[in-house]
Amino acid sequence: MLKPTDSYDRLCDGFTWDLPARLNMADQVLAQPADKTAIIDLTAGREDVSYGDLTRLADGLARALLERGVTRGDRVGVLRSQDKWCAVAHIAIWKIGAISIPLFKLFMQDALTSRVTDAGARFVITDGEGAEMLRPLSSVTPLLPEMMPLDDAPFAAVQTGPDDPAVLIYTSGTTGSPKGALHGHRVLTGHLPGVEISHDFLGQKGDCLWTPADWAWIGGLFDVLMPGLALGVPVVAARMVKFSVGECCKIIAEASVRNVFFPPTALRMLKAEDASIGGLRSVASGGEPLGAEMLDWGRRAFGLTINEFYGQTECNMVASSCGALFAPMPGCIGKPVPGFDIAVLDASGQPTDAEGDVAIRRGTASMMLGYWNRPEETAQKYHGDWMLTGDKGMWQGDCLRFVGREDDVITSGGYRIGPAEIEDCLLRHEAVSTVGVVGKPDPLRTEIVKAYVVLKPGYAGDAAMEAALRNFVKERLARYSYPREIGFVDALPMTVTGKVIRKALKARAAGEGGQS
Cα-flanking dihedrals φ and ψ of residue 64, to 5°?
A: -65, -35
- Walk me through the domains of the chain, giving residue ranges and CATH numbers: 8-401 (3.40.50.12780), 407-510 (3.30.300.30)
User: For the purposes of burial, counting CB atoms within 10 Å of the CB of 245, is it exposed (0-12), middle (13-18) or buried (19 or more)?
Assistant: middle
> What is the rounded distance in angstroms from the CA atom of residue 269 to the CA atom of residue 288?
15
CA distances to 165, 171, 174 from 387, in Å: 19, 16, 19
Q: What DSSP string describes 219-248?
A: HHIIIIIHHHHHHT--EEE---SS--HHHH
CA–CA dist 58, 43 (Å, integer):
19
CA distance 331 to 394: 11
Question: Is there a contact between 22 and 161 (Cβ–Cβ < 8 Å)?
Answer: yes
Consecutive H or E run containing 370? strand 370-371
Pairing state of beta strands 307-312 and 315-320?
A: antiparallel
pLDDT on residue 513: 67
Q: Look over the chain and give the mean of its residue pLDDT values, rounded to a whole number.
A: 92
Number of helices and strands (H, E) in the chain? 16, 26
Q: Which of 408, 375, 374, 413 is nearest to 389 (CA)?
A: 408
- DSSP letter (8 states) at residue 479: G
- What is the per-residue pLDDT for 239? 84
What's the pLDDT score for residue 516?
42
Higher pLDDT, 513 or 71: 71
Q: Are 419 and 448 in contact (CB under 8 A)?
A: no
Residues 6 or more apart from 150 whose CB is under 8 A from it? 57, 60, 61, 63, 64
Contact call for residues 440 and 511 (beta carbons, < 8 A)? no
Measured from the Cβ of residue 241, the count of other Cβ atoms closer than 10 Å reads 9
- pLDDT single digits (tens) 287-297: 777 888 889 99
Q: Which helix (H) or strand (E) holds 316?
A: strand 315-320
Lowest mean pLDDT among 174-183, 245-254, 480-489: 174-183
pLDDT at 45 over 50: yes
If you average pLDDT over residues 453-482, what whole number do you get? 91
Q: Residue type for 195, please?
A: V
Q: What is the pTM of this model?
A: 0.84
CA 219 to chain centre: 3
Q: List, in sequence order, every residue forming a beta bridge with 358; answer none if it has no partner.
A: 344
Per-residue model confidence as pLDDT tens digits over 362-408: 999 999 999 999 999 999 999 999 999 988 999 999 999 988 777 77
Burial 287-309, CB ≥16 within 10 A → b, else e:
bbbbbbbbbebbeebbeebbbbb
Q: Beta strand 37-41 with 165-170: parallel, antiparallel or unpaired? A: unpaired
DSSP for 3-64 reads PP-S-HHHHHTT------SS--HHHHHT-S-TTSEEEEE-BTB-EEEEHHHHHHHHHHHHHH
What is the torsional sign of CA 155, 186, 310, 208?
positive
End-to-end CA distance of the chain: 55
- Residue 257 confidence (pLDDT) above 80: yes
